[in-house]
Structure 1
Amino acid sequence: MIVDGLVNAAGGFTPPTVEDMHLPNFFEIGSFGFGKQMLLVLLSVVIVAGFFMLAGRKRAMVPGKGQFVAEMGYGFVRNSLGKQLIGAHHFKPFVPLLFTSFFFILVNNLYGSIPFFQLPTLSHAGSAYVLAAIAWLTWVGVGIKRKGLGGFFKDLTMPSGVPPVLYIILIPIEFLSNLLIRPVTHALRLFATMFGGHMAMMVAAALMSHLAVTVGGLGGWLGSLAPLALGIFLFFLELMIQCIQAYIFALLLAVYLQGSVSEGH
């Protein structure tokens, strides 16, 4: 946790800022900068790919621990997110995307709870928007390919069973909701929870350090117990949210894909 520089000249408490969480780049080439966040993103690709490749290298009828965990993770995504939501007839082509999305996001979220790493990379808005854009392009592209441009937009903006007179109101609402607001909220839901949860932990850690070190004395040490307890609570809460948000992102992607391949709105 970053706690340096949180005491101002008057000795008062200065809470951490966005700059404290998003560290400077390691190096920059023109407008391109490479920092800890990008390094962790690349590392997550190595972690996910390396684990599943090693786990599946020696496949056996009686799986070892690594193969068992890998098969359980794959089966969870395939069946719970793919087969059950998209449908038994359409889900197979989308399993790799759902699988990759879930485990990639999970690892990048869990960085925030791992000592030394301590940075959920998707607390950067840009990363979350890129993932949401990939998801948006996928389900829109699938819908247009399956139903045609006109059929896709008709199915998306003209719900069945609604009196035609209401379409003049529903069409712009559905268009904005599904094609513009949906990808934004898909990204914001992930970014905001990762950013807010980690910032709350940083505030608790900084306050504990301020009371114990700067204030000092018996009162300071006793006072630091409250933010310590809060920090421990937030740690486990954030750990749970990190897993849930990875699931929710992949879940919503599956729901959107189901709408693209289904016959009705």
Structure 2
Amino acid sequence: MTQAATFIAKASSSDGEFHPPSIEEFFPEPIFFEGTLFAITRINLIQMLATVVLIIVFLIGTRRMRMVPSRFQSVIEMGLDFVRVNIAHDLLGRKDGNRFLPILTTFFFMILFMNMTGVIPFLNIAGTSVIAVPLLLAIVSYVTFIYAGIKKSPSNFFKNSLMPSGLPWVLYILIIPLEFLSTFIIRPITLTLRLLMNMIVGHLMLVLFFSATQFFVVTLGGWWTLLGAGTLAFGFVFTLFEILVAFLQAYVFTILTAVYIQLAVAEEH
């Protein structure tokens, strides 16, 4: 039974009451290897599926590149060019942009594909709606911009990150801890929570609309069907909005990583 079907079943249970979606649905019971460190839940399977589909799409799209591209190759090239031109080169320049392009491209498409599973029937939940994936990506982003800064200026990266030039020395007592929190603590936390919370809220809203539709139409019936038609319409519109959010969150995460790298390799470092 899919996650959405589970919600609907709860919404129309025999007690005749509406049961809204719960945050507990993001912690499903293990399907395989229960009780071990390698326990696999339904959400883990969706994450694996999104990863496999992403790999297959790019293998097929880039396997036989032609001067006159097919439609599928054109779509793949447009996606790659979007990251390369609008994120990597715009923020980092051609040299550093090409240098960090693989990781930025991986971030964008991995997040996009995992986000999109939240609006695909029978999957119905984003692979990024549990903290493991957003946190892992945030840690990789964190390590990347620190590596970039140290590589650019081994002796001055941390000094310049914590001590902006041109300030009176007495202000550094306040500035250093604030810069440390902002640069080395808050960045990975906000990257993680921004992506995670958007996917959680989006999923809960979609399930709320569609389970409410089922409740009004099937459980209550009669004139309540009109409300069911309204919640169905809202659910459809919100699905389109979630598709936009899936893209925007992939874009925001990737462009913020590029911004952090750009700050780390700035000339003053």
The alignment's TM-score, normalised by the length of structure 1, stands at 0.93
Spell out, residue by residue over 1:193-223, the C-alpha distance to the aligned partner (whole angstroms, 9 max, x if none): 0100110111111111111111122x12112
Deviations 1:49-100 (A, max 9, x none): 2222221222211111121111111111111111110122322121000011
The alpha-carbon deviation at position 178 of structure 1 amounts to 0.9
Decide whether the 8 Å contact of 2:142 with 2:188 is kept in 1.
Answer: yes
1:105 maps to which of 78, 101, 111: 111
Pairing 1:161-240 to 2, within 5 Å after superposition: 161-217=166-222, 219-240=223-244
**Alignment correspondent of 1:26:** 31
Equivalent residue number for residue 248 of structure 1: 252
Q: How does 1:1-265 map to 2 (within 5 A)?
A: 1-2=4-5, 3-7=8-12, 10-27=15-32, 28-148=34-154, 150-217=155-222, 219-264=223-268
The superposition leaves residues 91-142 of structure 1 with CA deviations (integer Å, 9 ceiling, x where unpaired) of 2121000011100100000011111111111111222111111111111122
Following superposition, the deviation at residue 172 of structure 1 comes to 0.4
State the SS of the aligned residue for 2:39.
strand
Structure 1 residue 233, shift from structure 2 partner: 1.8
Give the whole-Å Cα distance in 2 for the aligned partners of 1:5 and 1:203. Answer: 11
Distance, in Å, in 1 between the alignment partners of 2:50 and 2:212 is 31
Q: AA paired with 1:154? A: K
Give the letter aligned to residue 124 of structure 2.
Q
TM-score, normalised to structure 2's length?
Answer: 0.92
Question: Structure 1 unaligned runs (5+)?
Answer: none
Contact 1:21 1:199 in 2 (8 A): no
Residues in 1 aligned to 2:227 and 2:48: alpha-carbon distance in whole angstroms: 40
Partner of 1:162, secondary structure, is coil
Shift of 1:245: 0.3
Greater mean deviation of Cα atoms: 139-148 or 59-68: 139-148
Summarize deviations over 1:218-250 as a string: whole Å, max 9, x none: x12112122112211211111110110000000
Rounded to whole Å, the distance in 2 between the matches of 1:155 and 1:88 is 24
Q: What is the aligned residue count? A: 263
Query: Retained in 2: the 8 A contact 1:87–1:258?
Result: no
Give the stretch that moved more between structures: 61-70 or 154-163.
154-163
Amino acid at match of 2:56: G
Distance 1:188 1:211 in 2: 34
SS at match of 1:75: helix
**Would you say the 8 A contact 2:26–2:129 is kept in 1?**
no
For the aligned residue pairs, the C-alpha RMSD in angstroms reads 1.7
Report how far residue 37 of structure 1 moved: 1.6
Local SS of the residue matching 1:56? helix
- 1 CA distance for matches of 2:41 and 2:84? 34
For residues 159-181 of structure 1, the C-alpha deviation after alignment (integer angstroms, 9 at most, x for no partner) is: 23333321111110010011001
8 A contact 2:31–2:42 mirrored in 1 = yes
Say which SS state the counterpart of residue 67 (structure 2) adopts: coil
Cα distance change, pair 11–173 in 1 and its aligned pair in 2 (3 A):
same
